[in-house]
């Protein structure tokens, strides 16, 4: 598989059959934003400059869809803070795109999730990935595989939306 669109060449990653488990010591680091926390107005301006828009999480996906912006890749579990986000289901179903379901246990990055994100990055068609489990760590996978110039958006609970403008430095860090 070509790695020319992935700034880090991450298509070459060797993924264990069972995926990865996030060590307890690293969990604290993930509460730090991987990019810039932006307000809604800035978010709407910035995403229009992106070659690809990727959302990880229900609230950020809902926010963009409510503003008429359809991400190229949506990753969600229909939950926020363990509460169901019913309104998102109808919005996601109403937009075109490939529907994918993956299993991803808490504190894991499953090989199935990695494979589907990697494939989605090479598609022109929109991809909607429903995660049975937790989608939070998909942010790292998206940062590793996203093309240069993509915008990765995810929610940071009680802080706001994080905007990551993907470049080679971001991909390598992921």
Q: Which residues of the chain have pLDDT under 70?
A: 1-32, 174
Token couple for 53? 């828009």
Q: Which of 138, 148, 89, 94 is nearest to 116 (CA)?
A: 138
Residue 22 buriedness (CB in 10 A; 0-12 / 13-18 / 19+): middle
Whether residue 14 lies inside any domain: the answer is no
Can you give the pLDDT at residue 143? Answer: 94
pTM as predicted = 0.84
Can you give the pLDDT at residue 172? Answer: 72
Can you give the pLDDT at residue 167? Answer: 84
Can you give the pLDDT at residue 5? Answer: 47
Whether residue 30 lies inside any domain: the answer is no
Asked whether 69 and 61 are in contact (CB, 8 A), the reply is no
Whether residue 105 lies inside any domain: the answer is yes
Whether residue 56 lies inside any domain: the answer is yes
**Domain around 122:** 38-173
| Number of independent structural domains in the chain | 1
Chain Cα centroid distance, residue 92: 15
Q: Which of 74, 13, 15, 51 is nearest to 167 (CA)?
A: 51
Whether residue 22 lies inside any domain: the answer is no
Whether residue 134 lies inside any domain: the answer is yes
Can you give the pLDDT at residue 34? Answer: 74
Whether residue 85 lies inside any domain: the answer is yes
How many residues are present in the chain? 174
Whether residue 15 lies inside any domain: the answer is no
Residue 46 buriedness (CB in 10 A; 0-12 / 13-18 / 19+): middle
């Amino acid at each position: 598989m070509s790695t020319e669109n992935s700034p880090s060449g991450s298509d070459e990653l060797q993924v264990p059959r069972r995926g990865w488990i996030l060590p307890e010591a690293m969990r604290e680091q993930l509460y730090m934003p991987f990019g810039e926390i932006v307000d809604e107005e800035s978010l709407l301006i910035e995403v229009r400059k992106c070659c690809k828009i990727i959302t990880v999480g229900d609230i950020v996906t809902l926010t963009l869809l409510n503003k008429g912006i359809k991400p190229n890749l949506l990753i969600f579990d229909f939950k926020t803070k363990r509460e169901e986000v019913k309104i998102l289901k109808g919005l996601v179903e109403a937009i075109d795109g490939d529907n994918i379901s993956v299993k991803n246990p808490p504190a894991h990055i499953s090989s199935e999730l990695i494979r589907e994100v990697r494939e989605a990055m090479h598609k022109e068609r929109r991809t909607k990935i429903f995660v049975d489990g937790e989608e939070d760590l998909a942010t790292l996978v998206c940062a590793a595989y996203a093309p240069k110039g993509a915008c990765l958006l995810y929610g940071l609970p009680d802080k706001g939306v994080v905007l990551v403008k993907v470049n080679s430095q971001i991909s390598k860090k992921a």
